[in-house]
Amino acid sequence: MKYTRTSIPEIIICEPKVFGDHRGYFMESYKALSLNDFLGHKIEFCQDNESSSKKGVLRGLHYQIGDFAQTKLVRVVYGKVIDIAVDIRVGSPTFGQHVAIELSAENKKQLLIPKGFAHGYIVLSDTAIFSYKIDTPYSFEHERGIAYDDATLQIDWGLKPSEFILSEKDTLNPTLQEATLFDYNLNYYE
């Protein structure tokens, strides 16, 4: 597995070694020892989640607060998405900045998104199957969101807004500024 730090060093691109021949391919999609060695600390994932979405579905930007903040390791099993991670750690030198990366079944890249980041993605292919590991279970009471179209974030989602398909919940999320003013439970930068 190859690990590469992004412009926000805590966000890491994970690229498995893929061994292919006329039969297909083999890869290790996750290896705890090598990831933990690279990070210098241990992550204990407790759950795997998977979703299927059609082209234009935008999910995000989501995060959880307090003891339910999550580290995620995300990948695309089928199709193609643009994956976004936004630094929401108040006081961080990269607060409000984001990393955008194309994840696909073809490139097999994964993104490690630590606690303190909002996460979202948009589907670019006709269909996509998105899979991710989390280190803390979902909690409705601790779930929060940031507006996908917050102008201060300057996110290029790769499609025209007229093509976006959103849940009603995701159309009601506050801007990052509103979230940091009114939500005192964000993961503050230390």
Structure tokens at 116: 């303190």
CA distance linking residue 18 with residue 25, whole number of Å: 7
Cis peptide before 61 (omega within 30 of 0): yes
Q: Is 37 helix (H, G, I), strand (E, B) or coil?
A: helix
62 belongs to the catalytic site: yes
3 belongs to the catalytic site: no
Cα-to-chain-centroid distance, residue 173: 17
pLDDT in tens, 9-53: 999 999 999 999 999 999 999 999 999 999 999 999 999 999 999
**Does the structure show a pLDDT above 80 at 187?**
no
Choosing from 62, 63, 119, 148, which is the catalytic residue?
Answer: 62
Residues 6 or more apart whose CB falls under 8 angstroms from that of 76 comprise: 103, 104, 105, 128, 129, 130, 131
CATH code at 44-182: 2.60.120.10
Residue 48 identity (one-letter amino acid): D
pLDDT in tens, 86-115: 999 988 999 999 999 999 999 999 999 999
**Does the structure show a pLDDT above 90 at 181?**
no
Choosing from 30, 132, 138, 188, which is the catalytic residue?
Answer: 132
- Percent of the chain residues topping a pLDDT of 70: 95
